[in-house]
């Protein structure tokens, strides 16, 4: 059984309101029955292999060398393959992605920008996924019902915008965007952009899926070539085979430990080698998903039999057959050059636990207890959480259930609170049917809604007080300070779902399931057998409830309204263009010390409800960034009044007084989420420039898109010359040009000055965005010419 295709949707199947739960299935999707595979069962658009092969042949002849799989897929999507400059790490590529995916928290701002562009309909297949606004409180059913009520204004806006502008709409409860993409839309050779940093999940099915800000997504939806700096390619050569307690998650945990949170910046991570044969398709997706934590542009596995099997199991046998016919386009050439090569023998790889507070602090399980004691980390595991977009496959859930069953057979349950997040409605329905969910409940687990939940801070946690030092263990991907529960004292560790389950069973970081024993209810000592689980369900997947709304062929009659009094949604006003002058005597709003992720700049959790209202969400700007002067958070001195106040309030005061301001930051500024709010908020509150030691890729692009100046110190040590009482001037902006440094004059409070050099990575088009005030402003200018 499969969802009906776009071509055969009836009025009964289509609905404009998001609440509708109509089911509409057909035995054979029309787009597949025609003999040539569509990109998905929901799309009329055909697989692009014919075009990709033609482009690939052009580039292959030009390069005249072996090519990586990443290069083949990426370069075959070039706007101009015959003339595009192809220099890794420096050229800016003009690309034509196949589709766009938006999650509900970022979709609001993306769609508000698309609406302001004046365009009638999206130009490429695009979808909206409701997964971020569902808070974990009690359990899946109750939490979903509450979210539908609390967020009905936003859901109605997204559903009606989807209907009007031609985007498919996945209702709340359908699942996490990345799992839905993997199950329905990803295919080998795909180039997709998504407004979430973990979009690379689709690399597990051989697609280049890249996280972007909303403005980038708008470009693609508006049929404008999408710009990407030509990435380098890091090769990870896998030998040996996974076995025992070692899982696919341990591969990326190990790679994160090697490359750190910024080691993948500006690069695609491509996995290859004989070790691939021991990794499931969903396991490959896990690895690609967490590649976001090393700053990688995206990650990719070459097409193989495990992908074919997954496509067939999810009703896409025709796509699998087409991929078979195009395997040369989807796999690396022998001798293909990599900019960096990492060797990992899977037969020797140990299970890892990474954290706390950063996803690249990698510790093998046999060293965890001693490391935790040496660092004073809380040993008791308060909560274990499995699932999320990273690890919620049928295989993951089955392997965890095998451990839970062993414990239950010995009369014991989890000592820690244990939460389970299914990745999609299809996964939820299938694990319910096959008894896996019930086993996890018997173990002590609570099955949460098919949504992001605690992974992104949507967790109404009650078992500890704010500021209480404690440990949680998750199978998630990200563990920045306060991310999961808004408690800066929570020590969050990321690991495999299997180790999360084992540590929750023991209730302590001191437990190593590869060698330690547990005590059964009868006092008998026993050791857990290695986890086991089917890669794919033997009875096939159960689709569960239909949660998809297809857009009508003509959406011109649909209405999209935004109440001017709304506290959740706000239409956007264009940012002012650059006035053509140097930026003289700017005030420094805050000099940030240490890690400053997008969570620090624009917190998630309870603030997610304001993602569609720029002015309201700007009240969370830099709440948890550390002031380099004082070591405090959300406390800066107003350089006009002399008073100490909250960062957003101080910025608002500067804006009201007409005082231009800038921010000074540290290394890898803006790592983490793709949320463009971290760029929009400083722009909205009067910021002009962000000056740091180095940027994370997505955030730097988002700043450029919104007309901000993202600048880096030519000499990182000059960060120390900046004093928060300085007046900072940027000189020579009228001659701003690609590759040309910007002169910065620091006027200190004692009257002395320092002149330093700042660098930027803007090309000619991006300088046009700055001049126009934003990329969207420039788009409007071009349409009016």
Quick: pLDDT tens for 246-265. 999 999 999 999 999 999 99
Look up 478 and say whether it is catalytic. yes
pLDDT at position 100 is 98
Q: What is the DSSP letter of 8?
A: G
Nearest-angstrom CA–CA distance, 649 and 652: 5
CA dihedral sign, ordered 319, 325, 329, 335: positive
pLDDT digits (tens, 9 = 90+) for 133-163: 999 999 999 999 999 999 999 999 999 999 9
pLDDT at position 785 is 77
Residue ranges of E strands in 126-217: 126-129, 168-170, 191-194, 208-211
Distance of CA 119 to the CA centre of its chain: 27
Task: Tell me the average pLDDT across 187-213.
Answer: 97
Task: Tell me the average pLDDT across 360-364.
Answer: 98
* Active-site pick, 675, 688, 760, 778: 675
Rg, Å, the chain Cα set: 25
pLDDT at position 73 is 98
* Active-site pick, 6, 77, 399, 478: 478
Contacts (Cβ under 8 Å, ≥6 apart) of 554 = none
pLDDT at position 414 is 98
pLDDT at position 19 is 38
Contact 621, 602 (CB under 8 A): yes
Q: What is the pTM of this model?
A: 0.91
pLDDT digits (tens, 9 = 90+) for 680-727: 999 999 999 999 999 999 999 999 999 999 999 999 999 999 999 999
Task: Tell me the average pLDDT across 514-534.
Answer: 97
pLDDT classification of 561: cutoffs 50, 70, 90: confident
* Active-site pick, 6, 41, 132, 483: 132
* 3-state helix/strand/coil string of 38-77: ECCCCCCCECCHHHHHHHHHHHHHHHCCCCCHHHHHHHCC
* 3-state helix/strand/coil string of 224-282: CCEEEECCEEEEEEEECCCCCCCCHHHHHHHHHHHHCCCCCECEEEEEECHHHHHCCHH
Task: Tell me the average pLDDT across 375-385.
Answer: 98
User: Strand 25-26 and strand 2-3: pairing?
Assistant: antiparallel
Look up 657 and say whether it is catalytic. no
Distance of CA 524 to the CA centre of its chain: 45
CA dihedral sign, ordered 133, 134, 136, 138: positive
pLDDT at position 712 is 98
Query: Of all helices (H) and strands (E), which one includes residue 364?
Result: strand 362-364
Look up 316 and say whether it is catalytic. no
pLDDT digits (tens, 9 = 90+) for 400-415: 999 999 999 999 999 9
Strand, coil or helix: 410 = coil
pLDDT classification of 2: cutoffs 50, 70, 90: very low
Task: Tell me the average pLDDT across 637-656.
Answer: 98
Look up 754 and say whether it is catalytic. no
Contacts (Cβ under 8 Å, ≥6 apart) of 108 = 154, 157, 158, 569, 611, 612
Mean pLDDT over each residue of the chain, to the nearest integer? 94
Contacts (Cβ under 8 Å, ≥6 apart) of 694 = 262, 265, 667, 668, 669, 712, 716
**What are the beta bridge partners of residue 358?**
none
pLDDT at position 32 is 35
**What are the beta bridge partners of residue 127?**
101, 168
Look up 532 and say whether it is catalytic. no
pLDDT digits (tens, 9 = 90+) for 655-671: 999 999 999 999 999 99
Share of the chain above pLDDT 70, in %: 96
pLDDT classification of 673: cutoffs 50, 70, 90: confident
pLDDT digits (tens, 9 = 90+) for 454-508: 999 999 999 999 999 999 999 999 999 999 999 999 999 999 999 999 999 999 9
Nearest-angstrom CA–CA distance, 652 and 644: 14
pLDDT at position 150 is 96
- Please report, for residues 132, 137, 463, the alpha-carbon distance to residue 141 in angstroms, rounded to integers and kept in the order given: 16, 10, 21
Nearest-angstrom CA–CA distance, 743 and 100: 39
Q: What is the DSSP letter of 614?
A: H
Neighbours of 146 (CB within 10 A): 15
Report the phi/psi class of residue 702: left, alpha or beta, with left for phi > 0 and alpha for psi in -120 to 50.
alpha
pLDDT at position 323 is 98
pLDDT classification of 783: cutoffs 50, 70, 90: confident
Q: Does pLDDT of 206 surpass 70? A: yes
Nearest-angstrom CA–CA distance, 410 and 413: 9
- Two structure tokens written together for 61: 């002849």
Q: Does pLDDT of 1 surpass 90? A: no
* Active-site pick, 76, 388, 504, 673: 673
Q: What is the DSSP letter of 581?
A: S
Share of the chain above pLDDT 90, in %: 92
Look up 402 and say whether it is catalytic. no
Q: What is the DSSP letter of 121?
A: S
pLDDT at position 674 is 84
Q: Does pLDDT of 29 surpass 90? A: no
* Active-site pick, 104, 131, 250, 360: 131
| Largest Cα–Cα separation, the chain | 81
**What are the beta bridge partners of residue 36?**
none
| Helix/strand/coil percent split, the chain, to 5 | 35, 20, 45
pLDDT classification of 116: cutoffs 50, 70, 90: confident
pLDDT classification of 199: cutoffs 50, 70, 90: very high
pLDDT at position 13 is 31
Neighbours of 526 (CB within 10 A): 14
- Two structure tokens written together for 56: 């690939």
The length of the chain is: 785
CA dihedral sign, ordered 640, 641, 647, 648: negative
pLDDT digits (tens, 9 = 90+) for 304-350: 999 999 999 999 999 999 999 999 999 999 999 999 999 999 999 99
**What are the beta bridge partners of residue 228?**
93
**What are the beta bridge partners of residue 591?**
664
* Active-site pick, 43, 98, 104, 196: 196
Q: Does pLDDT of 24 surpass 50? A: no
pLDDT classification of 35: cutoffs 50, 70, 90: very low
Nearest-angstrom CA–CA distance, 597 and 618: 16
pLDDT at position 10 is 27
Q: Does pLDDT of 109 surpass 60? A: yes
């Amino acid at each position: 059984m499969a969802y009906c295709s776009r071509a055969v949707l009836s009025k009964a199947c289509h609905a404009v309101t998001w609440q509708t739960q109509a089911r509409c299935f057909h035995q054979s999707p029309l787009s597949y029955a025609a003999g040539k595979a569509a990109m998905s069962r929901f799309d009329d658009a055909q697989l692009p292999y014919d075009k990709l092969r033609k482009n690939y042949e052009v580039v292959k002849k030009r390069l005249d060398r072996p090519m990586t799989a990443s290069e083949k897929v990426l370069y075959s999507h070039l706007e101009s393959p015959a003339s595009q400059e192809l220099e890794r790490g420096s050229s800016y590529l003009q690309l034509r992605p196949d589709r766009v995916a938006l999650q509900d928290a970022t979709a609001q701002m993306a769609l508000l920008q698309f609406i302001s562009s004046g365009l009638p309909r999206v130009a490429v297949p695009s979808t909206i996924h409701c997964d971020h606004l569902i808070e974990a409180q009690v359990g899946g059913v109750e939490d979903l019902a509450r979210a539908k009520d609390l967020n009905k204004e936003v859901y109605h806006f997204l559903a009606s915008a989807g209907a009007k502008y031609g985007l498919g709409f996945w209702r709340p409860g359908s699942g996490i965007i990345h799992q839905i993409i993997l199950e329905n839309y990803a295919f080998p050779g795909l180039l997709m952009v998504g407004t979430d940093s973990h979009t690379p999940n689709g690399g597990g099915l051989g697609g280049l899926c890249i996280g972007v800000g909303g403005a980038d997504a708008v470009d693609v939806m508006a049929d404008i070539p999408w710009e990407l700096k030509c990435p380098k390619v890091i090769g990870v050569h896998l030998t040996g085979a996974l076995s025992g307690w070692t899982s696919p998650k341990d591969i990326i945990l190990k790679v994160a430990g090697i490359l750190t949170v910024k080691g993948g910046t500006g690069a695609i991570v491509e996995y290859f080698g004989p070790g691939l044969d021991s990794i499931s398709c969903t396991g490959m997706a896990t690895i690609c998903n967490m590649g976001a934590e090393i700053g990688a542009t995206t990650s990719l596995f070459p097409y193989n039999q495990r992908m074919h099997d997954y496509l067939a199991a999810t009703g896409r046998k025709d796509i699998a057959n087409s991929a078979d016919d195009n395997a040369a386009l989807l796999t690396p050439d022998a001798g293909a050059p990599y900019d960096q090569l990492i060797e990992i023998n899977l037969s020797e790889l140990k299970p890892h636990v990474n954290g706390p507070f950063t996803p690249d602090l990698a510790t093998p399980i046999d060293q965890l207890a001693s490391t935790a004691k040496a660092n004073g980390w809380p040993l008791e595991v308060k909560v274990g959480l499995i699932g999320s977009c990273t690890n919620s496959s049928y295989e993951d859930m089955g392997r965890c259930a095998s451990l839970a069953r062993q414990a239950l057979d010995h009369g014991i349950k989890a000592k820690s609170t244990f939460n389970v997040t299914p990745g999609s409605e299809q996964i939820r329905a299938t694990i319910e049917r096959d008894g896996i969910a019930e086993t996890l409940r018997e173990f002590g687990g609570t099955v949460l809604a098919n949504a992001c939940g605690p992974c992104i801070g949507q967790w109404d946690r009650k078992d500890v007080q704010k500021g209480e030092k404690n440990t949680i263990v998750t199978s998630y991907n990200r563990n920045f300070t306060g991310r999961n529960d808004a408690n800066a004292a929570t020590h969050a560790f990321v690991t495999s779902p299997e180790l999360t389950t084992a540590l929750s069973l023991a209730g302590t970081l001191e437990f190593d399931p590869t060698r330690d024993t547990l005590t059964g209810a009868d006092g008998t000592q026993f050791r857990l057998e290695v986890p086991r689980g089917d890669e794919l369900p033997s009875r096939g997947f159960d689709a569960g409830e239909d949660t998809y709304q297809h857009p009508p062929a003509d959406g011109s009659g649909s209405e999209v309204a935004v109440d001017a009094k709304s506290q959740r949604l706000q239409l956007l006003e264009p940012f002012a263009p650059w006035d053509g002058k140097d930026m003289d005597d700017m005030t420094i709003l805050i000099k940030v010390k240490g890690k400053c992720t997008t969570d620090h700049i624009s917190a998630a959790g309870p603030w997610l409800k304001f993602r569609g209202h720029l002015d309201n969400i700007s009240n969370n700007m830099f709440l948890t960034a550390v002031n380099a002067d004082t070591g405090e958070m959300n406390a800066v001195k107003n350089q006009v009044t002399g008073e100490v106040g909250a960062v957003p309030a101080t910025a608002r005061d500067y804006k009201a007084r007409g005082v231009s301001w800038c921010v000074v930051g540290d290394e890898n500024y803006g790592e983490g989420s793709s949320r463009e709010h971290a760029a929009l908020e400083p722009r909205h509150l009067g910021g002009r420039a962000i000056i740091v030691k180095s940027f994370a890729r997505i955030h730097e692009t988002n700043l450029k898109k919104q007309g901000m100046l993202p600048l880096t110190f030519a000499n990182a040590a000059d960060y120390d010359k900046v004093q928060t009482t300085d007046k900072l001037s940027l000189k020579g902006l009228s001659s701003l040009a690609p590759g040309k440094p910007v002169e910065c004059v620091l006027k200190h409070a004692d009257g002395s000055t320092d002149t330093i050099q700042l660098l930027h990575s803007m090309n000619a088009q991006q300088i046009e965005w700055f001049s126009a005030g934003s990329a969207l402003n420039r788009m409007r200018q071009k349409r009016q010419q």
